[in-house]
Amino acid sequence: MADQNAGQVPDLASVLANLASLAIQQQPPPVAVMPTQDPRPVPLHRRSTPQMPQMTATRTPVIDPATIIDWPQGLRCVSKIAARNPNFKTVLQKMITDQDKHELEWYHNCPMMISRFQLTIPRFGMRKSLEAQRATPEELEAYDMKVWRASRQMVDAMTAQLKNLGVPFFGVVPEKIMSAEEASSGQLRSYQPTSSRPTRITEEELLALQRKMLEYLEDMYRG
């Protein structure tokens, strides 16, 4: 009996081989591990923002009104000044009113002086009481000089005020004005290389620009 049982005992090596084969068969197939994603949002400071191309702002160079000597540029300049200065209209209207007041006063007094001068002409029926009101030619000449000086002072004051406001053609730098000798000698006027704007003008041309600007301002701001 012992010999029969001993013959039925399985070989240990065979048992181990069978167990090893079973372990290999029962092992689950490998699963590919995928990286887990963090559901939390990325902080703003860590997000990559697209870089926008930087635009370089080109600023138009500021033009000094004292260097403007052509009408189109002067008109654009005074329009910008009027838009930026809220007191521009008030100051211009007061200047126009004051000028009208002084001129009316001068024109009112001038006929009175002329009528007094006419009393010096001998004629019949002239009363002696009127002889004391005679105006001599010297008085008329003195009155004319008085009016001329007053008008000259008014023009100078207006020119200074327009210059302070930045109105073109008033207070032009001397380098932009041709002297009388240069103008009389027939010196050719020079122009800017890239435009038809003159680099210098004569005093007569400057005076014409001033009058044109005054007419424009009067049309715009006369109350």
Residue 173 forms part of a structural domain: yes
Does the pLDDT of residue 57 top 50, yes or no? no
Residue 80 forms part of a structural domain: yes
Give me the domain span that covers residue 169: 65-94+137-221
pLDDT at 104: 84
Mean local confidence (pLDDT), 85-108:
90
Does the pLDDT of residue 202 top 60, yes or no? yes
pLDDT at 82: 96
Residue 19 forms part of a structural domain: no
Does the pLDDT of residue 99 top 80, yes or no? yes
**Burial environment of residue 153 by CB neighbours within 10 A (0 to 12, 13 to 18, 19 or more):** exposed
pLDDT at 165: 96
Residue 77 forms part of a structural domain: yes
Q: Is the CB of residue 114 less than 8 Å from the CB of residue 204?
A: no
pLDDT at 129: 46
Residue 76 forms part of a structural domain: yes
Residue 34 forms part of a structural domain: no
Residue 43 forms part of a structural domain: no
pLDDT at 123: 43
pLDDT at 121: 46
How distant, in Å, are the alpha carbons of 94, 105, 124 from that of 137? 36, 21, 21
DSSP 62-119: PPPGGG--SHHHHHHHHHHHHHH-TTHHHHHHHHHHHHHHHHHHHHHHHHHHHHHHHT
Q: How many separate domains does the chain show?
A: 1
Residue 143 CA to residue 201 CA, distance in Å, equals 35
Residue 29 forms part of a structural domain: no
- In the structure, what pLDDT confidence band is assigned to residue 108 with cuts at 50, 70 and 90? confident
- In the structure, what pLDDT confidence band is assigned to residue 193 with cuts at 50, 70 and 90? low
User: pTM for the full model?
Assistant: 0.60
